[in-house]
């Protein structure tokens, strides 16, 4: 169904793999279109409880496709950036938790793709950078905004303005990734985290993601009100009734996403 990505579902986990290994999985318009379609499908599929995004071969995503971008004029470049934002915003907003399993280079658009995910787990061999200023441009898939929110304004300026490539260990130190794993254990660790999250109440996971994402840019008073409303939505669900009953009865809950 998809030409530039692989997508499959197994045991409630959706696996999205960027599949252009000869181009180090560089993002072009075709890849972005496939990603948008895949995550639209994921959002509608109630059997999917969590998603893992990774790259085929030795790179996660080594950036946007410079060969394609070099041929674009300013208006065409703008259209590509708009599509990139649509994809990243969809990944960030989709109700299912999304885990980036960063297996290698996550440069430019690849770093931006990882940042659009909820959780980032990196191989010890992974490398991160926003190298766009060396090409005469700036990050255009949300990088100037998400990076600052993840690592702070000063570190974001440093990474973007120097275009310095950093290791997985440094990415962990500054808060760009949440976990670092040995290369051979990366997918196992990502699956473990995905299954742990998938075992929880789907409505609670979705409302928690919404509360964090939406409240982050609000003032504390508005964010607190938003949390109350999302809490109320979860509290009125069948999942809340089942979860609390299971706790009191000392058994595993059977959530129904209602």
Q: Please give the positions annotated as active site.
A: 112, 132
Biggest CA–CA distance in the chain, Å, is 64
Distances (CA, A) of 161 to 30, 67, 69, 157, 243: 29, 23, 21, 6, 48
> Which residues, 6+ apart, have CB-to-CB distance to 249 below 8 Å?
none
Which two three-digit tokens encode residue 86?
A: 């649509």
Closest CA to 13 of 194, 207, 203: 194
Which two three-digit tokens encode residue 207?
A: 């409302």
CB neighbour burial string for 58-91, b if at least 16 within 10 angstroms, e if fewer = ebbbbbbbeebbeeeeeeeeeebbebbbebbebb
Which two three-digit tokens encode residue 224?
A: 């607190």
CB 16 within 8 A of CB 37: no
State the DSSP H helix or E strand holding residue 211, giving kind and residue range, or none if neither: helix 202-215
How many CB atoms are located within 10 Å of the residue 173 CB? 13
Helices (H) then strands (E): counts for the chain: 11, 10
Strand stretches in the chain, DSSP E: 5-10, 13-18, 50-55, 59-61, 98-102, 105-107, 119-123, 127-129, 166-167, 179-181
């Amino acid at each position: 169904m998809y030409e530039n990505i692989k997508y499959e579902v197994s045991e409630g986990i959706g696996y999205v793999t960027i599949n252009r290994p000869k181009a180090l999985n560089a993002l072009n318009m075709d890849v972005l279109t496939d990603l948008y379609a895949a995550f639209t499908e994921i959002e509608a599929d109630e059997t999917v409880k969590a998603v893992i995004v990774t790259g085929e071969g030795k790179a996660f995503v080594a950036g946007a496709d410079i060969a394609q971008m070099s041929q674009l004029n300013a208006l065409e470049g703008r259209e590509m950036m708009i599509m990139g934002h649509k994809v990243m915003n969809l990944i960030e907003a989709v109700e299912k938790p999304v885990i980036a399993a960063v297996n290698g280079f996550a440069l430019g658009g690849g770093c931006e793709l990882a940042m659009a995910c909820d959780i980032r787990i990196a191989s010890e061999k992974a490398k991160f950078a926003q190298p766009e200023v060396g090409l005469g441009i700036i990050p255009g898939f949300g990088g100037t905004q998400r990076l600052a929110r993840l690592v702070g304004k000063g570190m974001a300026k440093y990474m973007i303005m120097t275009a310095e490539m950093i290791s997985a260990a440094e990415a962990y130190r500054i808060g760009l990734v949440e976990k670092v794993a040995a290369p051979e254990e990366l997918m196992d660790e990502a699956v473990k985290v995905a299954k742990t999250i998938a075992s929880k109440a789907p409505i609670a996971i979705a409302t928690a993601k919404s509360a964090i994402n939406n409240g982050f840019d609000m003032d504390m008073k508005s964010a607190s009100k938003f949390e109350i409303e999302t809490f109320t939505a979860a509290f009125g669900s069948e999942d809340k009734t089942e979860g609390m009953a299971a706790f009191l009865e000392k058994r595993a809950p059977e959530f129904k996403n209602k």
